[in-house]
Structure 1
């Protein structure tokens, strides 16, 4: 869209006006969730014919208005990540103030009419516009290509060096030969061979063919300059990583590194007392064993005469990972605590409480014994939950799941006491598998042999794509993990039909180790699709049994059979067995492990091994 005219900053006489205060022209809008998952710090965002890079957090304390970017508390996750709190990104709307800051990137632009290729400033476009003045204000096209490396650095494609590869002596390495460069498409093919560079200095024309070869730039002696344009006045870093050419819109240009946690008791209270204790927890811990001093401190903070000291002590005693806990270990600890809370539930029903609790987990009203033949223990109805997802860093080129910490690009030059995050409120269903039956099943030699092959393939995949210091991530592949993961996928697909949710609005959260065997399917969106109430209704035993039978029947065949059911070592790196897009795979927003470690045969068996499945022989049961 064409940015609106610059609006002046409001003065004291304007405070009663509804006109929002702007200090920069508006270039577009994005949802808060996109700032965390799609267009976060360092990511590229396209707005009509323009392209921008999202600025870092160095100036966010000043640019993000407190009322538009309020703090978010989740002490377990905050302590694990070494921050005091989180902040919601500011909303982008007509009533917002400065919002998210962006910078123009890529800097190189081209005109489709005169074919001129040059830095943006050389076009002398009118203020606030991106047009070619000599071509009747024809919109400029940002460079389709960018240069990036595994350390997160990014810069413009070196057009001058690519074109003058054999004749650099006529200019300097910075691209000054006195000529005018042009970019045109011959239209003869759809490949990069038709994209041709030329220069008025007389060097031979060169196409973009071969630019995406892994060593295309290294062969020309082009190295990474270590630039970080998303950070304000950041100096270039020394970098030895070979640069790669990427499409500007490629997913490899920006991949978020996220951490998340559910709000569970006692941290799930959202009343004034809980908010004050969370905000001043470090100071209040000194009075934990002195109720009178704690009460006095709380009375001063709350500006009241009576306080609930017992509840405050529970909040202070809540288990929080230590700050020095390794991230992977701390994440597992958070999952263990969530598993315990989901298993035990809480006694307060959603109709009987005062809406000050962000976690309402109760058993269904009917007897769940009819689920026993399926190996399921009592389900839990999560009528209210809250999840906080924080953006900790990002990667380029390398997979965010496989990259080590040294390949995680920073969100700001100086370490800040907070991170951007989003909170999702919704509902869910928690299921557990019967431990004794699960243990007998996973000891089956045929099951172990089948999963051992997946574990080997996944370990090799993680080792191959691992970047940075330290050992690669350990594969979670095990019989119970693949079973839980596959079961979650078929239930999400089933409930998307039964409960009226789009499948992308549902998300899985797996709890799996030697002492955990559960899954949570919950609403994953921050809009109205997270509060329809239809998902919890599917957790009542009779309805759950019907859904489970229907999901298993759907999983017993695939439109790609017999090719699918006979397949082994499919997917990225051979990390799936019987799984394809027609039967098991979901939207990336729904799966927490990138649609890998799936095997439909572990549910109901295969033609060669019919007793391989955990649910083999139960489809004949009815209510």
Structure 2
């Protein structure tokens, strides 16, 4: 990742080695005198964070790769003169809470420097990756086999998209005519799509040989040749596996669903292809999953908006910098010699101006303070709520007196805006976020279920390193702008109390319970659904956010997919006060951030017209009356009401809840299927 908005991290891969071998991304595969290049593709930091991180499958033009675990990134960092890090103690503390106290840094994704005339291939690369799946099907003759049976070609230095595996001496399909000369050719190969996964996050190749022989060995050959033939449309579903040695056949359709699961191996092998390793034990049962399935990989990330630090936070940041740059061992060795620590810190380019000896002694003591025991950490983790990351941001936005004193070094600049006379009165405040910096960190990933669908988070989170204890995690740092709207808290509380007693809310609650009961994952049944159902105010803010994103996209110069939401919607507890606000923002990896088109919409005259227009559009949908009256009833378990792609849904890059928990009836007075009146927060659209 670089300072350019078009920065892309590169993917090298050791092509001809099995995923169980140690990965050396800088040792390019060679075939004869033709050198194969290591680079096979590229991706933006944002896609690596949310879509194609370690453990995910990236489908390239010729084959698929899986970004490797953090252990295999070590050769990349060793070639750097300086290992960059993102210093944000508030987020680092959350990562340490989840993954352990050994995590001492957030690092950006490594990027491959642009190659110049004198550059050397392989001198420095980006993110290492493994070829996965490693079973391929020949497109010329349908031969199905493991990776070593195919030839790899990647010789063009500036065309990694041409890299591919081929089947040499492919005989083609059909029978050879008598007397005809045998003509062999070289046909491209594509990855076999079928995989096995389990709730513990393991992923493995599908056992095609065992499958076609129904768990037995081939009677004709020890290592039989297989073929994968696509089914003719209308005759059957899925592909058919054929053993060329004994003639056995079996369709892949038999492996689908709950019935097909009983025909699969009874025990998962515990394979982690991104680590090139196997877990010693896994008691989960495997299930069939396709290579491009949406539930193959769910990123587990946490993010914060960087705010001006207090004095205590500055001292904590200094301690974090000493821990990263000097290491605990060096700080412990020279901890009693303040001047030595100061000199070592200065040599590491740590700004020590303004740092008193007392501040430095406090930071040293912080570095050397023993970490919490594992039992204490688990107790804190069990009590932790993701809302805790949002509370400091909400509290800062409640103090306009601090805005003129903001420290530009934090990357946050906000301005309290005047409310337009025509702005709906229940929108109490408008804050223009002129500049902001957002830091996102990777905790790991899950398979089959998204993070908020499980309560045994530590056991379901797939590890990023072979020992499960990373010393750093990948992170991104984005800059941008936004608009913050706050609703009248008293009005929201009054409205929410009314909604809680309606039949519509009971229908949503029942659908949410059904949704959890019917989850495919074995662990979802351990979740109390009511603890995961957001309060009505969240539905209100979430729906308002979506209709504003759709409206703002037509005026701000950014596409709707470039806008994202951050919802501050929770009821009061002993630990925090109630909140009801939303931030619509856009961020980019460019060092200069974005261009100001979104924050300009916070001007009073533009915003009030935009809000009125958005609410009026939300009052009608091209799918009405079906959409307006949509209410889940048993056995339905969808997690939205009067909302659809025509009126309220947003892209997956914009929505923080995957288009769940939306209902236009919470915004406006719309009819229900039973005819009951549900009070919309903003009333009737015809009086806006």
User: What aligned pairs does 1:332-347 form with structure 2 within 5 A after superposition?
Assistant: 332-345=387-400, 347=402
Alignment of 1:279 with 2:343, yes or no, is: no
- Alignment equivalent of 1:223, drawn from 252, 267, 270: 267
- Alignment equivalent of 1:130, drawn from 165, 180, 190: 165
User: What aligned pairs does 1:61-210 form with structure 2 within 5 A after superposition?
Assistant: 61-64=74-77, 66=80, 70-82=84-96, 83-92=103-112, 94-95=114-115, 97-123=124-150, 130-135=165-170, 136-165=185-214, 168=217, 170=219, 177-185=222-230, 187-189=232-234, 192-193=237-238, 195-210=239-254
- Secondary structure of the 1:498 match is coil
- Alignment equivalent of 2:413, drawn from 332, 354, 360: 360
- Secondary structure of the 1:422 match is strand
Alignment of 1:241 with 2:272, yes or no, is: no
Output the TM-score relative to the length of structure 2.
0.76
Is there any run of 5+ residues in structure 2 with no aligned partner, and where? Answer: 1-10, 15-24, 29-37, 97-102, 116-122, 156-163, 171-184, 332-336, 572-577
8 Å contact 2:305–2:439 — kept in the other structure? Answer: yes
Aligned length: 586
Shift of 1:611: 6.6
Alignment of 1:606 with 2:649, yes or no, is: no
Measure the CA separation in 1 of the matches of 2:186 and 2:311: 55
- Alignment equivalent of 1:577, drawn from 616, 630, 641: 641
Shift of 1:396: 1.8
- Secondary structure of the 1:485 match is helix
Measure the CA separation in 1 of the matches of 2:300 and 2:564: 18
Measure the CA separation in 2 of the matches of 1:508 and 1:535: 13
Which shows bigger deviation, 200-209 or 53-62? 200-209
8 Å contact 2:12–2:126 — kept in the other structure? Answer: no
- Secondary structure of the 2:295 match is helix
Shift of 1:523: 0.8
User: What aligned pairs does 1:146-545 form with structure 2 within 5 A after superposition?
Assistant: 146-165=195-214, 168=217, 170=219, 177-185=222-230, 187-189=232-234, 192-193=237-238, 195-219=239-263, 221-232=265-276, 234-266=277-309, 276=318, 278-280=320-322, 301-302=345-346, 306-307=353-354, 324=377, 325-326=380-381, 329-345=384-400, 347=402, 355-364=408-417, 367-368=418-419, 370=421, 373-403=424-454, 404-405=456-457, 406-414=459-467, 415-444=469-498, 448-465=502-519, 467-468=522-523, 471-472=527-528, 474-514=531-571, 515-526=578-589, 531-545=594-608
8 Å contact 2:13–2:130 — kept in the other structure? Answer: no
Is there any run of 5+ residues in structure 1 with no aligned partner, and where? Answer: 7-20, 288-292
Measure the CA separation in 2 of the matches of 1:443 and 1:305: 53
Output the TM-score relative to the length of structure 1.
0.83
Which shows bigger deviation, 211-220 or 507-516? 211-220
Shift of 1:453: 2.9
- Alignment equivalent of 2:683, drawn from 616, 619, 622: 616
Q: Could you say if the C-alpha distance between residues 267 and 502 of structure 1 is closer, same or farther in structure 2, counting changes exceeding 3 Å?
A: farther
- Secondary structure of the 1:216 match is helix
Shift of 1:106: 1.4
Which shows bigger deviation, 65-74 or 220-229? 65-74
- Secondary structure of the 1:432 match is strand
Measure the CA separation in 2 of the matches of 1:270 and 1:80: 15
Which shows bigger deviation, 439-448 or 331-340? 439-448
Which shows bigger deviation, 437-446 or 242-251? 437-446
8 Å contact 1:91–1:99 — kept in the other structure? Answer: yes
Alignment of 1:595 with 2:615, yes or no, is: no
Aligned twin of 1:34: 47
Q: Deviations over 1:97-148 (max 9, x none)?
A: 2211111211211212232221111235568851112133321111121111
Shift of 1:250: 1.4
Which shows bigger deviation, 153-162 or 449-458? 449-458
Measure the CA separation in 1 of the matches of 2:339 and 2:425: 51
Shift of 1:66: 4.4
Aligned twin of 1:9: none
Shift of 1:564: 0.9
Measure the CA separation in 2 of the matches of 1:69 and 1:39: 23
C-alpha RMSD of matched pairs (Å)? 3.9
